[in-house]
Structure 1
Amino acid sequence: MSAPSFSLVGLGPIINRWKYFVAGAVALAAVVSIVVALLLPNVYRSTAIFIPTNPQTADPDRLLEPGSQSGSKLELGGRAEDLDRVITIGESQPVAEIIIKQFNLYKHYKAGEPGDDAVDNFVLSEFSNNLSIVHNERDAIELTFMDKDKKLAAAVANALVHAIDSVNQQLTLENRRTVLNLYRQRYDYLSTSYERSRRELVGARHRYGIFGLEMQGRYMVKQLIETEAALRKAEASGGDVAGLKRSLRGLTRADGGNLINLESYVAGADSLAMFTTRVADLQGRLIAARSAFETAELSIKGRLSSVYLVQKAYPATKKFKPVRSLIVLGSMLLTFALSVVFIALLELYRYNRPGAVRPA
């Protein structure tokens, strides 16, 4: 004989015969699930939203770019590498240990004293299960932390953002210090070169008797013209020719007795022009180097944030879980389904056992 076939329609009479059993099982499941749901603590979640910045834009060597203003601005990071780096930092064990120690989560999770491997693993696992860091569709990071204490959840979420920011800054801090040291060395070198060139310029002025190239040149030409003209008149009229010749010699010859004279002026004009140009160039570069060094030093001491906080985490105003009605309803439906399966199998067993009465 072929085995009888069962369908969902055929379950109706079976359920009807076992209705008290099914109803009792469902009622018992409802009572147990209600008790369990009421005993479950409320869990709250707080979310902080932030956008990572490109840490390279906070480096001293990028703060001042020649001919561009972009080097002095922080770039908000929609780049995949910035987002991945921040998520990796947030999910790392060192950051977790910082937060666990800061908020004494060993005591909060009632795990025991730190130092035991099982206890440490339990606390880390509990912390990781309550933490969520995701990249949303708007290229921002959503950091969510869940806990039975809504104030603690918000505090941990905000502390995590701060810890991520600190670790992210540390990734470039050593490079910033190296660059700052290069700025300092450049400034010191330019300062030494400027002082040496300035002393050479002052020495050249005294040696050649040139204290102002343009004005002094005009003065000497005027005096030479006037003295030579007076000498020609004196020669024609019998005036003080010897005195005017001495004056003319003093204006034209280095051994004539005058500090300012044409021979020294011509001999030192080129050298003095070179020294003056050199000093002016070094002075401009020195001022720029000093400004760059001060800006770089300020960026190091100021510790520019590597994240742009869009929304800090606040204590939740309503619980996240458990959803008690779903727990009760789900338990009742699951118990009903298992009860139906159980009685169907029981009926099938009774039907197929030896000596069972079968319908004709």
Structure 2
Amino acid sequence: MSSRSYSLLGLWPVINRWKFLVLAAVALALVVSVVVALVLPNIYKSTTVFYPTNPQTTDPDRIVTEGGKLELGGRSEDLDRVITIGESQPVAEGVIRRFHLHEHYKAGKPGDDAADQAALDEFAGSLTIVHNDRDAIELTFQDKDKELAARIANALVQSIDSVNQQLTFANRGKVLELYAQRRNFLEREYQLTYDSLLAGRKRYGIYGLALESRYLAKEIIETESELRRAEGEGNSGKAAGLRRALRALTKTDGGNIFNLESYTTGIDRMNTLYARFNDIQGRLLGARSAYETARLGISGKISSIYVVQEAYPATKKSKPVRWLIVASSVLITFALSVIFVTLLELYRGNLSVGKSRS
């Protein structure tokens, strides 16, 4: 026995028989959907666009060597960190308290678990943070009040910036203390080396004058030559004076501050002191500059994000699309009505067949 076949054209007689029921259902859906669409409030959304900056360019312990130039961070870790902060519960709770959203959402009194959770759920449902195809962050907030939506979106960006700075600069005090310790240590070493240098100059008569050793050698040679000529000429008085002069040039106890014995004894030590003094002096200047730069960078508030576009109040609603609600409700009701009457016809047909066989 062949089975019965059905087609879409075969539905028309069924619809025609039940047309009043179908039309009543469609009319009811039309009325209800129109009422619902008119009752639904307008929802406005405001969007702000920003880039996270590279935290390495604003980290105080990198300012000294790399300068204070801000670089936009298109790195995935920077983007993920900013999105995670924006979707975090502490940021949401702070914004909810700031704008009194418990009252705005009619969730209840703050402090009640159910009310707090309802406010958080409503807030999370209104917030969207995405990473767009240009490596920027788009933060969108929706609300019935377009002015409030824009203010909340901008406040969220500020909160993200604040939390991001706290994460990035958590070691600010420690970094500045390390710079201060390094500067103080070099200042002490500088003073000790300077005192040693002064003591060495007085002891050895080496003052770091240009061509100091050359002039000493020249004077010794000339004095000794004069002494030999005086001895050769038999001039004992002049020779005695030249011997005393030569001794003063060569011996420490001769009376001269600058003499060969002191010079040869202290030249290596003084060269070491000079080298250390110059090294510490350069390092001290660098440490002072680093400390001042770090203190300036830490005391100042360097933003960790670069805002491309602030959120502004929307000029038109984003939802609901009322005509779409009405049209979809009517179409869905019509389709369900047709399905219902078709199943009802099939049931009645099978029931009548069963009775005729019996």
Task: Provide the TM-score with structure 1 as the length reference.
Answer: 0.89
**Whole-Å Cα distance in 2 between the matches of residues 355 and 304 of structure 1?**
84
Shift of 1:121: 0.6
- Runs of 4+ displaced beyond 6 Å: 355-358
Aligned to 1:92: 88
Q: Does 1:198 align with 2:197?
A: no
| SS state at 2:25 partner | helix
Aligned to 2:24: 24
Aligned to 1:46: 46
Would you say the 8 A contact 2:47–2:150 is kept in 1?
A: yes
**Whole-Å Cα distance in 1 between the matches of residues 95 and 117 of structure 2?**
15
The letter for the 2-side match of 1:192 is: R
> Which is worse superposed, 75-84 or 311-320?
75-84
**Whole-Å Cα distance in 1 between the matches of residues 336 and 128 of structure 2?**
35
> What is the aligned counterpart of 2:138 among 138, 142, 150?
142
Aligned to 1:269: 267
Q: Show CA shifts across 1:240-266 (max 9, x none).
A: 333333222222221111222222122
Aligned to 1:311: 309
Would you say the 8 A contact 1:253–1:262 is kept in 2?
A: yes
The letter for the 1-side match of 2:293 is: T
- 5+ long unaligned stretches in structure 2: none
**Whole-Å Cα distance in 1 between the matches of residues 7 and 301 of structure 2?**
72
The letter for the 1-side match of 2:75 is: R
Task: Provide the TM-score with structure 2 as the length reference.
Answer: 0.89
Shift of 1:139: 2.1
| SS state at 2:210 partner | helix
> What is the aligned counterpart of 1:133 among 106, 118, 129?
129
The letter for the 2-side match of 1:317 is: T
Shift of 1:194: 1.4
Number of residue pairs matched by the alignment: 354
Shift of 1:268: 1.2
Aligned to 1:302: 300
**Whole-Å Cα distance in 2 between the matches of residues 292 and 270 of structure 1?**
33
Shift of 1:344: 2.2
> Which is worse superposed, 233-242 or 248-257?
233-242
| SS state at 2:171 partner | helix
Q: Map of 1:1-360 to 2, 5 A cutoff? A: 4-65=4-65, 73-235=69-231, 236=233, 238=235, 240-353=238-351
Counting aligned pairs with the same residue, the percent is: 62
Would you say the 8 A contact 1:253–1:261 is kept in 2?
A: yes
Would you say the 8 A contact 1:350–1:356 is kept in 2?
A: no
**Whole-Å Cα distance in 2 between the matches of residues 227 and 128 of structure 1?**
97
Shift of 1:12: 0.8
**Whole-Å Cα distance in 2 between the matches of residues 242 and 350 of structure 1?**
152
> Which is worse superposed, 30-39 or 215-224?
215-224
The letter for the 2-side match of 1:87 is: I
Shift of 1:275: 0.4
Q: Show CA shifts across 1:75-134 (max 9, x none).
A: 432222222222111111111111111111112112221011110010000000001111
- 5+ long unaligned stretches in structure 1: none
| SS state at 1:240 partner | helix
The letter for the 2-side match of 1:346 is: L
> Which is worse superposed, 310-319 or 121-130?
310-319
**Whole-Å Cα distance in 1 between the matches of residues 338 and 124 of structure 2?**
39
Would you say the 8 A contact 2:224–2:246 is kept in 1?
A: yes
Would you say the 8 A contact 1:213–1:269 is kept in 2?
A: no
